Amino acid sequence: MRRHPLLRAAQGKKALSRRFIAEYYDTAKFDLRRAGVGLRLRREGRRIVQTVKREGRVDGGLHQRPEWETETRDGKLDFAALAETGWCKHFDDPDLRNRLQPIFTTEYRRTTRIIEPGPGCVIEFCLDQGEIRAQGRAHPICEVELELRSGEPSALYDLALALDQTIPLKIGRHSKPERGYLLLTEPAAQPVKAAPIELFADMNVAAAFSHIAFDGIAHLEENEAGTLVHADPEYLHQMRVAVRRLRSAFSMFRAALSGPEFERYAEELRWLGQALGPARDWDVFTIETLPQIAAQFASLPGIDWLGKEAVRARAEANEVAAQAIESRRYQRLLLHLSAWLTTLQAPQQAPMNADAAPTESAAGNRATGQAAAAAAAPSTLSESAVVEPPVVAEPPAIEGPAAADRIALTGIREYADSILSKRRKRVKKCGRDLAQRSAAERHQLRIAVKKLRYAIEFFSALYARKKVKEFTAALTALQEVLGALNDAAVTQTLLSRLPASAAIEHEAVGIVAGYSAALAQARQVSLDQRWNALRRHKAFW
């Protein structure tokens, strides 16, 4: 990384290498963390700098956090300076002051270069190598931070993509202090569901889409590690949900934002969904569907064979999913998509400059990655050193509002009303004469219901909470029954793919298929009831 041509050609300036040792402070009960505040003392050569940080957003690896720094003379916490931040009143609390203590330490060597990729744009490149220590445990640090000193945030992604042409980078969501707290608490890892989306009435359509899509990327990234180690099938399920939500967002915003970049990313998300889908289908069949049916036919000849074949097929499908997640294609999709989404936000955001004030620095923007390998490097974005063919083309420059249709700059509430009405109309059409609908037609209703639910989840912050909750509850109840019916249909498809040859194997497949179909038929009454319950709810928009 240090010898990368892009860095060596950085205005001919010599790299600066420094050793940092930082102690992070909190109470034994993590009062500061719960308040969204970070506090540290960091030794930088002969200086000791006190830093306070507040929570911010992390969009596609882009960390935006307000921070305040001051130099201390005696190496101790300066409570007078803390009180002056105006960010956190509990620094005025004598009891909290007495309970503050060092809780973990970071020690690393930082190699820094200043890069000026264009007029008015200054980026600080930092390569950090060291470790985080807490209570006798340690976690390695090997990461690149790109901090925007001046210019547009999209420049960070341009540089990250240029570096990634040669050295594979993986977007990092967790900061050093976040990893320090993880060392202390060691929480049991759990799959992460989609977080509530906060939209505001004064957002335009383009910015709202960017906000929704960034949340989808976060949902994906939070479940990557668990999926790769097969810790819990729910990790893969949540990744698949994240892809579906992203694809649904692209579908509902197509009228406002459709263009070459938009369609390219929509197609790449379709690829990702196809890579993850079979693994989830086999998970459901192997863990939920088959055990339930096999318990009724434990002595059936061929049932053991069926179980083993299902496990084999599941392992193969999970390997395909893992290969997709670990591929350059996937990582570059996230980088390219994040870069493009940042340009959609640009008209509403002022450029960030860490030198805006002598005492208070604006939010630092950091794109963090881990270098996985090194090879010969191209010096421009247009040259590709990726072994597999480039799948996502480099996004061309987007010049502010000219990149978006007129609709994209209108208010989000009006657009949301329109989308919700269209989605509800589609649900009504697909559900008409439900009792006479075929399995394929019920599947179309399920898709329509799911798309309406995603739209409500995306836009719920714009409407009255109680009405949204009531409508969503009825929609979810219907979706659960439709999901069970779909699982039965998928079961038939999966069974047809198993290599049955002997008579007992065919018999086992036939019995499981028939029993699954009977279970689905028994749900028809419940389906009718929940459909009628949904029809009684009026639109809340």
Residue 190, CA atoms < 13 Å, CB-side half-sphere: 6
CATH code, 494: 1.40.20.10
Same-domain pairing of 83 and 133: yes
319 in a domain, yes or no? no
Query: Taking the CA of residue 56 as centre, how many other CA atoms within 13 Å lie in the half-sphere pointing to its CB?
Result: 20
Q: Distance between CA atoms of 22 and 250, rounded to whole angstroms?
A: 43
Evaluate if pTM is beyond 0.85.
Answer: no
Helices (H), 258-354: 260-284, 290-294, 303-326, 328-345
Domain shared by 26 and 93, yes or no: yes
Identify the domain boundary among 338, 363, 379.
Answer: 379
Whether 1 and 108 share a structural domain: yes
Say whether both 144 and 70 belong to one domain: yes
Q: Are residues 104 and 5 in the same domain?
A: yes
Q: What is the pLDDT of residues 233-266, one digit of tens each?
A: 999 999 999 999 999 999 999 999 999 999 999 9
Whether the per-residue pLDDT at 374 is higher than 50: the answer is: no
From the centroid of its chain, how far is CA 174? 12
Mapped onto helix, strand or coil, the DSSP state of residue 253 is helix
Tell me, what's the pLDDT at 370? 34
List pLDDT tens digits, range 333-342.
999 999 999 9
Position 2 in a domain: yes
At 1-35, the pLDDT tens digits run 766 767 766 655 678 899 999 999 999 999 999 99
Q: Is residue 200 part of a domain?
A: no
d(CA 9, CA 379) in angstroms, rounded, equals 9
The answer as to whether 370 is a domain residue is: yes
337 token code pair: 């998509």
Q: How far apart are CA 79 and CA 92, in angstroms?
A: 8
Tokens representing 282 are 């086999």
pLDDT at 360 over 60: no
Task: Please tell me the distance from the alpha carbon of residue 525 to that of residue 530, in angstroms, as a whole number.
Answer: 9
Q: Is residue 205 a contact partner of residue 253, using CB atoms and an 8 Å limit?
A: yes
Same domain, 368 and 420: no
**Cβ contact 463:540 at 8 Å:** yes
> Is residue 44 situated within a structural domain?
yes
DSSP annotation of 143 reads E
- Domain of 444 in residue numbering reads as 409-535
Domain presence at residue 449: yes
pLDDT band at 328; cut points 50, 70, 90: very high
Same domain, residue pair 178 and 137: yes
Report d(CA 154, CA 341) in Å as an integer.
9
Number of structural domains, the chain?
2
- Same domain, yes or no: 440 and 484: yes
Residues 480 and 362 placed together within one structural domain of the fold? no
In a shared domain, residues 508 and 373:
no
Whether residues 433 and 358 share a domain: the answer is no
The CATH code of the domain that includes 136 is 2.40.320.10
User: How many residues in total does the chain contain?
Assistant: 541
